[in-house]
Amino acid sequence: MQLNRLIDFHKALADPTRLRILILLSHSPLHGQAIAGKLGLKPPTITHHMTKLREAGLVKERREGNTIYFQLERRVLEQKSFAFCSLLKEEETDMSKTKGTLRTEAIWRNFFTPDNRLKTIPAQRKKRIVVLHRIASSFNHGQKYEEKEINQIIQRFHDDFATLRRELIIHQFMYREKGIYELNPAEMWPASEEREI
Amino acid sequence: MQLNRLIDFHKALADPTRLRILILLSHSPLHGQAIAGKLGLKPPTITHHMTKLREAGLVKERREGNTIYFQLERRVLEQKSFAFCSLLKEEETDMSKTKGTLRTEAIWRNFFTPDNRLKTIPAQRKKRIVVLHRIASSFNHGQKYEEKEINQIIQRFHDDFATLRRELIIHQFMYREKGIYELNPAEMWPASEEREI
DNA sequence: AATCTAATTAGATATTTATCAAATTAAAAG
DNA sequence: CTTTTAATTTGATAAATATCTAATTAGATT
């Protein structure tokens, strides 16, 4: 499991001293004693923290003569910041693959072609919701979309993107603000089946 | 300082048990005993962890009869995941507002050590101007300096104070009159910048 | 070779924290 | 009002960890 890497990353950011170190390094690279000086700590303490930051991949170092400069790895920071969110998303799609109920699958078979096109928009509300679920899942949580992009993506399923777009809003899969669309959190999505709890 | 909130957030994600809880909740809301069962832990332990997750804003709860369902707050998770990156970016733009553009910072990183020494005198005129800017800024407008003082101050940056002093004059950062030096008004200083990216 | 400097390691201490068993509380159901 | 049930609080324990001083190491410089 690579959960451990994730934990080490979050542990690295779970300490005030280390956050302050990273903030300092965001201005410019620094060597150990400079950091110690600015934070009012002793060099061994800095070594301790730099070890953890290094293990998390958040800093790299270069030697210059006798002194070692530490330097922030911004890209790693950004990648790992979202790692857990991504993991949850994977889990989610895995789940819906294995857990999609028979009933749902039947609806899919009826309304989607094998290459993922929507044959017709279901008239019955419950079936329509199931279909909308699948369409909404092609968008990413947290990402903002312009109407053009929305239409494009919906059109991969069906040509009547206007109706489907409106349905996504009506049933709270997404919301619109000043022409920008974004997914609602999954908890706001309508349940497509009975509750399982 | 809202650093504490950030720390609490990362602490929340810095424990394997809590990550597993969040993964469970990403599938569906669950009540305490269910979580305890799935993880092979006792209810008090779950209470302990849910307290921390709640304080970090990562879960909310709803009561149903006697049992309490916990539910993941995806939006909060996504927002806070990037919070520290955003903070660093703000820091950075603050820096460049007060101290110069990104390009300037790159030059600084290349030519100055972290403790403000000039590694080498840039050969390229534009870069030299940027460097001279920083050195000239250590003098006060309106104050008169003797050559000895000038040398001393420049020497804090680089041992070749003669060259740098001459450059400061040539590029009109300062002028000399009867052995007395003084800064020119800032409007006479050469522009160090082309444009920001 | 001898010395200097920055960094690291080792060892000690105090704080935090993950976990559990036992006791208690809160709310619903009888 | 009493009982039931899930959750919480309390108190204890073991593990992790942030910090320091003192000793050591790794590289440069003389």
A100 — pLDDT class (breaks 50, 70, 90): low
Rounded Cα gap, residues A190 and B57, in angstroms? 23
Rounded Cα gap, residues A49 and B178, in angstroms? 54
User: What confidence score (pLDDT) does residue B121 get?
Assistant: 81
Q: Model's pTM, two decimal places?
A: 0.61
Domain boundaries, chain A: 2-72, 100-188
Tokens matching residue B152:
């001393």
Rounded Cα gap, residues A77 and A56, in angstroms? 9
Angle of helix A43-55 relative to helix A16-27, nearest 10 degrees, comes to: 80
With contact defined as beta carbons under 8 Å apart, do A176 and A143 qualify? no
Highest mean pLDDT among A85-94, A149-158, B45-54, B141-150: B45-54
User: What confidence score (pLDDT) does residue A196 get?
Assistant: 28
Highest mean pLDDT among A70-74, A98-102, A158-162, B87-91: A70-74
Residue A57 has pLDDT above 90, yes or no: yes
DSSP code, position B194:
S
Please state, rounded to an integer, the average pLDDT across all residues of chain A.
82
A137 — pLDDT class (breaks 50, 70, 90): confident
Residue A23 has pLDDT above 60, yes or no: yes
Give the nucleotide at minimum CA-to-C1' distance from A43.
Answer: C7
Residue A21 has pLDDT above 90, yes or no: yes
* A100-188 topology per CATH: Arc Repressor Mutant, subunit A (1.10.10)
User: What confidence score (pLDDT) does residue B115 get?
Assistant: 59
With contact defined as beta carbons under 8 Å apart, do A47 and A53 qualify? no
User: Residue by residue, what is the 3-state secondary structure of chain A?
Assistant: CCHHHHHHHHHHCCCHHHHHHHHHHHHCCEEHHHHHHHHCCCHHHHHHHHHHHHHCCCEEEEEECCEEEEEECHHHHHHHHCHHHHHHHHHHHHHHHHHCCHHHHHHHHHHECCCCCECCCCCCHHHHHHHHHHHHCCCCCCCEEEHHHHHHHHHCCCCCHHHHHHHHHHCCCEEEECCEEEECCHHHCCCCCCCCC
The residues of A whose Cβ lies within 8 A of any Cβ of B are 3-4, 6-7, 10-11, 13-16, 19, 22-23, 26-31, 34, 64, 69, 72, 74, 77-78, 81-82, 84-85, 87-88, 91-92, 95, 141-142, 185-187, 196-197
- Walking along chain B (197 residues) 10 residues at a time, the average pLDDT comes out as 89 98 90 93 97 96 86 92 91 64 70 75 79 77 72 78 82 78 70 41
With contact defined as beta carbons under 8 Å apart, do A102 and A192 qualify? no
With contact defined as beta carbons under 8 Å apart, do B171 and B165 qualify? no
Task: Note whether B2-72 and B100-188 share their fold.
Answer: yes
Which amino acid is located at A61 in the chain?
E
**Which bases of chain D are under 7 A from a protein CB atom?**
4-11, 17-22, 26-29
CATH (residue range A2-72):
1.10.10.10
- Which residue in chain A is spatially nearest to B96 when comparing CA positions? A27
Angle of helix B43-55 relative to helix B3-12, nearest 10 degrees, comes to: 150
Rounded Cα gap, residues B83 and B170, in angstroms? 47
Interface test with A, best of B8, B15, B26, B92 (most A CBs within 10 A): B26
Residue A22 has pLDDT above 90, yes or no: yes
Nearest alpha carbon to residue A77 among A61, A47, A57: A57
Residue with more model confidence, A53 or A108 = A53
Average pLDDT over residues A73-84: 93
Nearest-neighbour CA in chain A from B88: distance (Å): 6
Strand pairing category for B59-64 and B144-146: unpaired
**Close Cβ partners of B26 (under 8 Å, ≥ 6 residues apart):** A88, A91, A92, B72, B74
Rounded Cα gap, residues A119 and A178, in angstroms? 31
Rounded Cα gap, residues B171 and A99, in angstroms? 73
- Which residue in chain B is spatially nearest to A2 when comparing CA positions? B16
User: What confidence score (pLDDT) does residue A193 get?
Assistant: 45
User: What confidence score (pLDDT) does residue B14 get?
Assistant: 98
Tokens matching residue A133:
């679920």
pLDDT per position as a tens digit, A1-14: 578 999 999 999 99
**Which bases of chain C are under 7 A from a protein CB atom?**
5-11, 17-22, 26-29
Residue with more model confidence, A33 or A154 = A33
User: What confidence score (pLDDT) does residue A28 get?
Assistant: 82
User: What confidence score (pLDDT) does residue A147 get?
Assistant: 81
